Amino acid sequence: MKEKEFQKVQEIGFGSLIEKLSGYSGKKREEILQGIGDDAAVFEGRKGEISLISSEIFLEGVHFDLSYHPFQHLGYKLVTAAVSDIYAMNAHPLQLLVNIAIPNKYSVQMVEQFYKGVDAACKDYEIEVSGGDTTASHQLLAVSVAVTGSTAKENLVYRKGAKDKDLICVTGDLGSAIAGLRILMREKKFWKESGQETFQPDLDDYEYVVKRQLIPAARNELLKVFEETGLKPESMIDLTQGLVADAKEIAKASGLGLDIYSPAVPISLETRKVADEMKEDVDKYAFYGGEDYEMLFTISEKNAEELRKSFEDFSVIGTMTAEHHEMRINTGEDKTIQLEL
């Protein structure tokens, strides 16, 4: 019999749903002694290694809008958010636990799409889905993940390690995720105003920024370069709250101030185009936007030069300093903005 295209969760029950979803288990890891199928996941740590754990929670209406965020993309993004925290410690993610609270209005197929996104991300990041919990929700969808990771003690990187005169570096470009969100929100507004039951916006001109909002990628390749070259940043954090907020965390944890040169902050042409269309300040996108999942790290000038030989996708945007304890942003127009830490 052909499977229904919209099958209510209550038609098959949570037991059958869990069994159905257990096939989306990411990439199998030899360290995972017991994954899905028991009361808890079991994993074996390697001698001399440090274990890490981090978690993320996304709530419908707060962290995502299902009118423009496909379930599969949501699953992928949630995993990216979690593993990015592990990469920010210069560590390797290992396994993932997925928790989901599902309202009856959503179908089995929708939930399965979410797990397909989780599965795809876990295969990309080479981690295993080793368990979790599934329950009902009255109105809103809530999803969370917990991710574990490990690294050798000597490789661990904290936020607090920045040193005076360290270069402040960021990977990729900033502000594109919020640019993508602005486009999606605009198209949703057009749809509501149109009164149409269905609406298919033309997003071809905004593919890059929309992708950065819906299915961002964590910077695992940077970790691999650090590993291959033997280089290590002094401090690191993933950019989730925006450059200003996250750079302050590095400065406060390290007991230093920082000087940022605004024109050096990397912003894509696509992001600038969106800001122009919206008649908004593109620098605010980069400094306050968030959800870029790029890496902000500090490193000595000598090591930055060495890193450039193996990895080019980063920009030097400023320096750490012991001369003051605030955040100073040089706009490049003989103006300096001073922000308290």
Which pLDDT tens digit goes with each residue over 174-193? 999 999 999 999 988 888 87
Measuring CA to CA, how many Å separate 220 from each of 121, 124, 190, 256, 284? 12, 10, 37, 28, 27
The HSE-up count of residue 56 (CA atoms within 13 Å, CB side) is 20
pLDDT value at 136 more than 50: yes
pLDDT (average), residues 250-260: 96
Rounded Cα distance between 80 and 290, Å, is 14
> pLDDT, tens digit, for every residue of 14-40?
667 777 777 788 888 777 666 665 444
* Phi and psi angles of residue 216, each rounded to the nearest 5 degrees, phi first: -70, 160
Per the structure block, which two tokens stand in for 93?
Answer: 């993610």
87, 137, 270, 329 from 266: Cα distances, Å: 21, 41, 12, 15
Q: What is the pLDDT of residue 125?
A: 97
What confidence tier does 111 reach under pLDDT thresholds 50, 70, 90? very high
Q: Is 26 left (phi over 0), alpha (psi -120 to 50) or beta?
A: left
What confidence score (pLDDT) does residue 36 get?
A: 61
Average of per-residue pLDDT values in the chain: 90
Q: Per-residue pLDDT for 1 more than 70?
A: no
**Assessment of whether the complete model's pTM goes beyond 0.85:** yes
Domains, the chain: 9-155 (3.30.1330.10), 159-339 (3.90.650.10)
Phi, psi of 285 (to 5 degrees): -60, -50
